[in-house]
Amino acid sequence: MKIIVFSIDSKYKKNLIEEVFKKNSKHGIYLCLDQGKQKFCDTLKINKLIRAELLQLSDAERENILNGYIDLIGNISTKNHNSREWWASDISSKNRVTSPMQELLNNIVVSVKTIEMCVNESKDLYIFGVHSPIIIFLKEYARSEKIDIQIISRRLRWLNYKKIIKKYFFLFRVIISSLKNILLTHFVFGRVNKIDKSRPVILIKSFVFPSAFINKGKYEDPFFGGLEIFLKKHLSENTQIITVSQGFSERYRLYKKMKSVHSQIIFPIEKFLRMKDVFLGGASIFRFWLFGSIKIPKKIFFLKNNLSSTLQEIVDSTGDSIPFGDYLYYYLARRIAKSYKLQTCYMTYEGNHWERMFIIGLREIRPNIEIIGYQHAAIPQSAAGIFISCKEVSLIPHPDRIITTGEKVTEILHKNSCFPKNRIQSGCALRYQYLYSLVQSPIRKISRNTYTILLVLGDLESLSLLLYAIKEAKLLSDVNFIIRTHPILPLEHFFSICGMDYSDLPNNMSISNIDYVQGDIERCDTVLYWSSSVALEALMMGKSLIYFDRGDVLSFDPMSFIDFNDLKWTVQFDESILSIVDEVTNMKHSEFVVKVNKGREHIMDYFSQKNKENMRVFIPGTYNI
């Protein structure tokens, strides 16, 4: 067999493909690694090429990939741990959206699996939409396996240069944007004059959304719930509790509302940033890109393959990207720590870039401060950033302890992370306590004419889910579909990517205008999702679930660590949900109730209800209780 690789920069014209076919067998398999080329690739079926099947991996294989990924980044950390920029980088974060590593590992695993299949069947393999790091990997893999390989590329190196130029241009843009944010925040919010610098301070670092302002002058933290009220009952009256929050959508309107809150001390993060911080941050990143960059070990293995050359190529082609706004958290933390008598800091914990920058900044000024990371949401397998390799556990900036939402999450961290087990404590789901007041008798529709499916969109990576739902809605005209987007990503963002607008939605598909997600869950029968933790809320409220599997090697399902399939189905793009709807509507009510109750038991272990015991771990200094 032979591998024919078309790089991402190749001219995708049929006459070019025909020229290649003349020299190779027309009977083979084709694999498309870039979604933007998929439509073109699918036209190749007329040339007797068969599309490679979506990846099917066992749980054991996925677990092996996850462990390999965590160790891979841990190995790189040992070479770069003295660099602040490394800890701020997308690669270091293992962020499932911004890091290039998830796509890289996806492509490696998919390519290897497909190559193995083609070798067994003696068929040629055509791979389209291939970026330079994967080309390097495929060359080395083909050489080691003694397989013929042909690379069709026009100007891949120039494409990398364009990416690098774009990277510097983007840095310039975000510097300007950050300066603007600081100026506008100072104009909208005014002065910081509520904090007594002589008194001890407990700091809560959070985020703000429109739903946080329940009514005029009152604020409820969207991540930490009633933590401030609880702490006030257990701390001395002399202690001040301060919340600093970052806004996204409707940022300045929310900051203006924040100013009118008098019962709590709450500020926008930009109030603690200065113009010089922006210039210092920009200069540090610029210097790192020019003279430093990420160091890659010469031998670094993933699934028995040495990826040193592949990883070096991904770093050289902008894999050393750093989110500038997250980098500024270093300067923000230093200024707060210098200005006030910080004793304890509570922050959300996901392993993101900003968390590490914030921790580094705090510890440089207040080395004895207690930093508590609160794991506040569901953990899909792809959220590898929350897991720490044993090789980097003593190097990585991390909290003193982690409080989880429940016993199940504590088990997940114990199994997959080398974070000290005695520093991981089971707490409760502060932001999900409302679920326990919404538990009601399960209601199941017995007719498709009134059946409603709630489509939950998260980040822009869920575009394929939207396209799938539109396809299904056109086929199931008697089923209602409701689209719910994330507060900071309205539907227009998705339309701008795929060239669609509201007129492209079928008549049985509508857009939610409800502020609170539980309102949408209550009026639906099934939740169709990809990476949203709304699935766990829906199961608690007695709804069936359909997970959309894109074929990722690490699952984006927030329930991927929960062994529950009684009221949950999985579909891929070529599969219909019709049979699932029929199965739910035809299910005996008694059977449905049993399955709902099983699901609720799992969620109660995951999102625990608060009580005196699990709330005690939130008290500063509470390590062993």
Give the domain ranges of the chain: 2-58+93-156, 177-276+325-432, 442-606
Average pLDDT of the segment spanning 222-250: 93
pLDDT of residue 210: 85
- Give the total residue count for the chain: 625
Nearest to 546 by CA among 554, 535, 560: 535
- Average pLDDT of the residues of the chain: 90
pLDDT of residue 497: 81
Architecture of domain 177-276+325-432: 3-Layer(aba) Sandwich (3.40)
CA-derived radius of gyration, the chain: 25
The secondary structure of residue 384, as a DSSP letter, is G
pLDDT tens digits, residue range 106-123? 999 999 999 999 999 999
Average pLDDT of the segment spanning 513-534: 90
From edge to edge, which strands make up the β-sheet containing 568-571? 509-511, 480-484, 452-456, 526-529, 544-548, 568-571
pLDDT of residue 625: 44
The secondary structure of residue 250, as a DSSP letter, is B
Distance between CA atoms of 486 and 321, rounded to whole angstroms? Answer: 25
> Which residue type sits at 323?
P
Average pLDDT of the segment spanning 454-469: 90
Nearest to 69 by CA among 307, 287, 242: 307
pLDDT tens digits, residue range 328-364? 999 999 999 999 999 999 999 999 999 999 999 999 9
pLDDT of residue 1: 85
pLDDT of residue 194: 80
pLDDT at residue 288 is higher than 90: yes
Architecture of domain 442-606: 3-Layer(aba) Sandwich (3.40)
CB 241 within 8 A of CB 221: no
Between residues 64 and 497, the one the model is more confident about = 64
- Could you tell me which residues come within 8 angstroms of residue 235 by beta carbon, excluding any fewer than 6 positions away? 202, 241, 620
Which option is the CATH number for 2-58+93-156: 3.40.50, 1.10.150, 1.10.10, 3.40.1010? 3.40.1010
Nearest to 126 by CA among 290, 222, 7, 39: 7
pLDDT at residue 11 is higher than 50: yes
pLDDT at residue 46 is higher than 60: no
pLDDT band at 192 (very low <50, low <70, confident <90, very high): confident
Average pLDDT of the segment spanning 265-275: 95
Between residues 546 and 52, the one the model is more confident about = 546
10 Å CB burial of residue 99 (0-12, 13-18, 19+) is buried
pLDDT tens digits, residue range 358-411? 999 999 999 999 999 999 999 999 999 999 999 999 999 999 999 999 999 999
Q: What ranges in 10-100 are assigned the alpha helix state H?
A: 14-23, 38-42, 59-80, 84-88, 90-93
Between residues 427 and 498, the one the model is more confident about = 427
Percentage of the chain beyond pLDDT 70 is 93
Domain 2-58+93-156 and domain 442-606, same fold? Reply is: no
Average pLDDT of the segment spanning 313-318: 87
Structure tokens at 234: 């257990």
Question: Pairing mode, if any, of strands 124-130 and 2-7?
Answer: parallel
Backbone angles phi, psi at 334, to 5 degrees: -60, -40
pLDDT at residue 8 is higher than 80: no
Lowest mean pLDDT across 99-103, 425-429, 513-517: 513-517
248 three-state secondary structure: strand
